[in-house]
Amino acid sequence: EDQVTQSPEALRLQEGESSSLNCSYTVSGLRGLFWYRQDPGKGPEFLFTLYSAGEEKEKERLKATLTKKESFLHITAPKPEDSATYLCAVQGQGGSEKLVFGKGTKLTVNP
Amino acid sequence: GAVVSQHPSWVICKSGTSVKIECRSLDFQATTMFWYRQFPKQSLMLMATSNEGSKATYEQGVEKDKFLINHASLTLSTLTVTSAHPEDSSFYICSAKFAGPYTEAFFGQGTRLTVV
């Protein structure tokens, strides 16, 4: 069974204080690993897709990396507007199209 | 990114009544749509996967007769919560995928259902 574990559950940073969020996964053949951002009371907003170990993607202050066992979401010099819950999900090689989500990391960036 | 619109954003209904939630892909054709339920401070729980023109595939433990899913076209899927009860109160979110295996899913804004 595919599983995703995210850590930490919650993270508080000062504005400008860089850090990383972790997503560990077990899957029978990875088709894709996805990062989403979710604001309270809203649906998840797509950030990145990573397909193979060694791949990296960047968007503004965010950078996602992937190994065979985990993915990191690096946040460089965060701003208060980066505060949100960040969700990681995987899609396995089985015939199903579904994503398996972690519980997320709630990030709070204080000014 | 692609746009998925979900309606309504919130709804309050009386116990025993039915509620329909719509999910539309506005600028692409979605061969597959997903319906999730999210409890406070929890992650997304997949309820069912639907493909256009065929019956939805429900996850274990999800009542098919209670949560009716229709995916009548490549841009519209609906979730009907039948005979709603207070325990059905939750945040329901849909997502849609392009055709093809290596594509991300885009999410609607969610529907907050409160059954009183």
Token look-up 């990030």 returns A107
CB contact under 8 A, B49 and A45: no
The span from the CA of A13 to the CA of A109, in Å, is 5
Residue range B59-66: average pLDDT?
94
Residues of A with Cβ-Cβ distance to B102 under 8 angstroms:
31-32, 49, 51
Length of chain B: 116
pLDDT number for residue B27:
85
| Residue B55 DSSP code | P
Name which of B43, B49, B91 is nearest A97 (Cβ-Cβ): B49
Q: Which two tokens stand for residue B52?
A: 């256009």
Give φ, ψ of A80 to 5 degrees. Answer: -55, -35
Residue B1: pLDDT band (50, 70, 90) is low
The span from the CA of B30 to the CA of A90, in Å, is 19
Residue count of chain A, please give it.
Answer: 111
**Distance from C-alpha of B116 to C-alpha of B111, rounded to nearest angstrom:** 16
| Per-residue model confidence as pLDDT tens digits over B11-26 | 999 999 999 999 999 9
CA count, 13 A, side-chain hemisphere, A44: 33
pLDDT at site B40: 83
Beta bridge partners of B57: B49
Q: Pick from B102, B96, B46, B48: which is nearest to B75 by CA?
A: B96
Output the pLDDT for position B18.
Answer: 97
* Radius of gyration from C-alpha coordinates of chain B: 13
Q: Rounded to whole angstroms, how far apart are CA atoms A69 and A79?
A: 29
Predicted confidence pLDDT, tens digits, chain A (111 residues) = 889 999 999 999 999 999 999 999 999 889 899 999 999 999 999 999 999 999 999 999 999 999 999 999 999 999 999 999 999 999 988 767 789 999 999 999 999
User: What b/e string do you get for B21-30 counting C-beta neighbours within 10 Å, with b at 16 or more?
Assistant: bebbbeebeb
Contact B4 A43 (CB under 8 A): yes
- Examine the pLDDT at B103 and tell me if it is beyond 80: no
Asked if A98 lies within 8 A of B42 by C-beta distance, the reply is no
Kindly tell me the number of DSSP H helices and DSSP E strands found in chain B: 0, 11
Specify the pLDDT at position B74: 87
The most distant pair of C-alpha atoms in chain B lies apart, rounded to whole Å, by: 42
Confidence of residue B98 (pLDDT cuts 50, 70, 90): confident
Distance from the Cα of A15 to chain B's closest Cα (Å) equals 24
**What per-residue confidence (pLDDT) applies to B100?**
67
pLDDT of residue B102: 62
**Region B19-47 average pLDDT:** 91
Whether residues B109 and A42 touch (CB distance < 8 A) is answered with yes
Nearest residue to A21 via CA among A52, A61, A53, A54: A61
